[in-house]
Amino acid sequence: MFCQVCGARNPDDEELCVRCQSKLLVLSGVGVVEEGREPQEEIPLDEHLLERISTLEELVKRTGDAIKSLFESLGNLEKNLFVAHTGVLALQETLERRGLVRAEEVRDLWETKLDERMQAVEKKDRFLERRDRIVARFSGAHEQQFVKRLREAEFALLALDSDRGIRALEDLYKVDRDNAELGFYLAETFFSAGNMERASAYLKKVLAVQPNHFESLVYSGIIAGEAGDVAAAETFHKQAIQRRSDAFLPHFALGSLYAHASRWNEAEKELAKAIDVAPQPSAHVLLGTVLREKGNKSGAIRHFEEALRLQPDLEEAVFQLGLCHLEKNRLKRALECFHEALEQNPRRLEYQEAVRILERRKLYPLPHVAGPGADAFRRAEEALGRRSRRSRATRRSGFPPRFSPRRSASGRRRSPRAGRFSPAIRRRSSRRRRAPSSPRLSAPKVAPPKRPTWCAISSTSTNRRLRGPSATTSSPRTSPSRGKTSTPRSTTRAAHSPPRPRS
């Protein structure tokens, strides 16, 4: 036998090593081999595998039978629930016909009771999670009695009688004031129920025993922020961040606090850290709102769309996205977002008013513009008013609809300062007259018939108005095929019309 410490060889009947005196790992006795005994017959491997497979088949069969029985039980339960629900609806309809109850009253009471039961189930689940820690933190003398009373409170919570269970836990906390887990469970329960005063009292007791309790710091900051104590809330959240900097809730709560206080830059930093820790849809919505308040509409739209990607039925993200499109003057996109938000929550007045205003925006005056863009908006409105007045003056001046007051009868652009052609167009026209592209036959000039003075004046003014300054020096054209003099149509019309008084 060899020693396991020094490796020295020892006799078989020794219990200690001869060299190092360490205890040898030996059997309790010396084994004796019986030579005359027959060796046991070994089980073949194939039979062993078949036996194991048969056992597994039996287990699978039992599991299948159990699942089948479970499905049958679920079917019976669903059938019983359907029958019970039908009976309740029949009873409600009978009472409504007799005028004893109203449908709205029954529905409201039903929803209230459902919320109460759901809260009771939530309290039970949270207690089962913290039960072992509450027992481990007990520091009193009578532990067995404490565990017994805790079991009674547990039975009350399991029976969904949360009021009796919470009263029993409050009595237990009076016995063990140093139990931070039990105190925080009571504080969290009252916080979920909306009783901030009692929750704050229990949180103060927990922090007095354990000042670095992370959950108590976060909840204390939220309660202080709800009460309007911004400084205390900020202190609690910063202590929680120092305790655990990789947590989502303190960064998000501190960012919400800064956002409510209109401290946009600080809110953006904290919310960005919260999103880095855990990209939650609520954090994206709040950060998008902060960016929209800062004027970064593109960044806000990006965060709202990311929130909708994470949670497509988030109505607040849809509504805020519509506001961003509305501020960027994308009315169609904004109306689509408002319609989608209204479909998800038809009772919210903000969504109804937004859809109504955009669908009938011509009947509502535009809101007053203030801030940095007010001056630019005023100048734009003044320019729009001048353009409208110019258009009305053009219509009153007597120009045909196809003529623009800034264009001549030939379609060429006129100078905006005076009623003459621009110098560039005059030079181009004169260059074309000096160097024609192809020779053309000129018609023989025939002197026009003499007319009265008022006819000449009328035709001259008409040509000047319709053809420009060159119309006064143009001569009538003679058709070479007919040999007749062609008089301009405007001159003929002017010859048969009475003279107009010159303005």
**Residue 394: pLDDT above 50?**
yes
Which of 365, 312, 370 lies closest to 341 in space, CA to CA?
A: 312
pLDDT at 43: 60
* Whether CATH 1.25.40.10 fits 177-278: yes
pLDDT at 397: 60
Residue 355 CA to residue 343 CA, distance in Å, equals: 11
- DSSP H or E stretch at residue 486: strand 485-486
**Residue 16: pLDDT above 60?**
yes
Average pLDDT, the chain: 76
Do 352 and 358 form a contact (C-beta atoms < 8 A)? Answer: no
Average pLDDT of span 459-481: 43
Q: Parse the chain into domains and list their residue ranges.
A: 177-278
Q: How many residues does this entry show for the chain?
A: 503
Do 289 and 307 form a contact (C-beta atoms < 8 A)? Answer: no
- Tally: H helices and E strands in the chain: 19, 2
Identify any residues that bridge with 421 across adjacent strands, giving them in sequence order.
414
Query: pLDDT tens digit string along 240-281?
Result: 999 888 899 999 999 999 999 999 999 999 999 999 999 999
- DSSP H or E stretch at residue 478: strand 477-478
Do 207 and 220 form a contact (C-beta atoms < 8 A)? Answer: yes
Query: pLDDT tens digit string along 19-74?
Result: 777 777 655 444 444 555 555 555 666 777 888 888 889 899 999 999 999 999 99
Identify any residues that bridge with 16 across adjacent strands, giving them in sequence order.
23
Residue linked to tokens 């529905």: 107
**Residue 455: pLDDT above 50?**
no
Query: pLDDT tens digit string along 294-350?
Result: 989 999 999 999 999 999 989 999 999 999 999 888 888 999 999 999 998 888 888
- Of 215-219, 230-234, 458-462, 496-500, least confident by mean pLDDT is 458-462
pLDDT at 12: 78
Burial per residue of 260-288, b for 16 or more beta-carbon CB atoms within 10 angstroms, e otherwise: eeebbebbbebbebbbebeebbbbbbbbb
Residue 197 CA to residue 263 CA, distance in Å, equals: 28
The CA-to-CA distance between both ends of the chain, in Å, stands at 139
Residue 280 CA to residue 20 CA, distance in Å, equals: 65
Measured from the Cβ of residue 246, the count of other Cβ atoms closer than 10 Å reads 10
